[in-house]
Amino acid sequence: MERTLSIVKPDGVKKNLIGEVIKRFEQRGLRIAALKVLKLSKDDAKGFYIVHKERPFYESLTSFMSEGPIVVMVVEGKNTIKKVREIMGATNPKDAVPGTIRSDFASDIEHNIVHGSDSKESASYEIPFFFSSLEIQ
Residues catalogued as catalytic = 115
Q: Is the dihedral of CA 102, 106, 107, 109 positive or negative?
A: negative
At position 111, the amino acid (one-letter code) is: H
Give the CA distances from residue 24 to residues 11, 28, 32, 112, 129, in Å, rounded to whole numbers and listed in that order: 17, 7, 11, 16, 24
CA distance 13 to 25: 16
State whether residue 70 is helix, strand or coil.
strand
Apex CA 17: angle with CA 48 and CA 32, to 5°?
A: 65
